[in-house]
């Protein structure tokens, strides 16, 4: 329920002072009990606290000042938001007697194929060839900020993990501070070898028994 777009929440046109509350939007009710008389101030039921009532009732909302509407709202998602967290959108809820309420969005983060997240750290894997691991190389690593070059030292073993500091997820309360991105290197073992490749590996095996 939102403010009626036809009457802008007034309930109609040609507003005049409410005769029941005198334009104050409140009325005082007196109540007698065995302890004596008590006065209670409440919202005027005739004008609903506005102090004015329309002479011509709005056809769209029937004088209520509200109508059911569908609208699009742009919401800024903070960096580093966690799955299942909530974001409060002030004034994005329904209209009531005290004004517009708030909207609470429950965030659901879609998983990524190339990344895994644990807290503020990101994990990924990079497959390299046997020759790259043995001789060393520079390879492209995809991060949330784009691709960067990673130096693979000669003699790198499979499942070696490299830490890219500050390339992880920002902390929601401190966006300048970020987690790390950890890359696990996996050596790709060829299923088929040529005759020359087999002879070369046989030589390596004899050198390093």
The pLDDT tens digits of the residues spanning 146-186 come to 999 999 999 999 999 999 999 999 998 888 899 999 999 99
The pLDDT tens digits of the residues spanning 179-196 come to 999 999 999 877 777 777
Confidence of residue 26 (pLDDT cuts 50, 70, 90): confident
- Average pLDDT over the chain, rounded to an integer: 86
Triad 97, 103, 109: Cα angle to 5°: 170
The domains located in the chain, with CATH, are 1-71 (2.10.230.10), 75-109 (no CATH), 116-207 (2.60.260.20)
Confidence of residue 3 (pLDDT cuts 50, 70, 90): confident
Instruction: Give the global pTM.
Output: 0.64
The pLDDT of residue 11: 82
Contact partners, residue 163, CB within 8 Å, separation at least 6:
180, 181, 182, 183
């Amino acid at each position: 329920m939102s403010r009626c777009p036809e009457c802008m929440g007034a309930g109609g046109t040609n507003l005049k002072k409410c005769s029941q509350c005198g334009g104050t939007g409140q009325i005082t009710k007196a109540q007698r009990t065995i302890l004596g008389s008590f006065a209670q101030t409440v919202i005027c039921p005739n004008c609903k606290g506005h102090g004015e009532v329309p002479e011509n009732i709005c056809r769209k909302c029937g004088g209520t000042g509200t109508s059911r509407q569908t609208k699009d709202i742009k919401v800024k998602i903070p960096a580093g938001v966690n799955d299942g967290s909530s974001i409060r959108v002030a004034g994005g809820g329904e209209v009531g007697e005290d004004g517009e309420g708030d909207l609470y969005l429950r965030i659901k983060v879609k998983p990524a194929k190339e990344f895994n997240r644990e807290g503020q750290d990101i994990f990924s894997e990079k497959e390299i060839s046997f020759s790259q691991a043995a001789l060393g190389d520079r390879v492209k690593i995809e991060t949330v900020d784009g691709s960067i070059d990673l130096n693979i030292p000669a003699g790198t073993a499979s499942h070696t993990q490299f830490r890219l500091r500050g390339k992880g997820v920002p902390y929601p309360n401190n966006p300048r501070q970020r987690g790390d991105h950890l890359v696990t290197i996996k050596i790709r073992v060829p299923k088929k070898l040529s005759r020359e490749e087999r002879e070369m590996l046989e030589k390596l095996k004899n050198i390093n028994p």
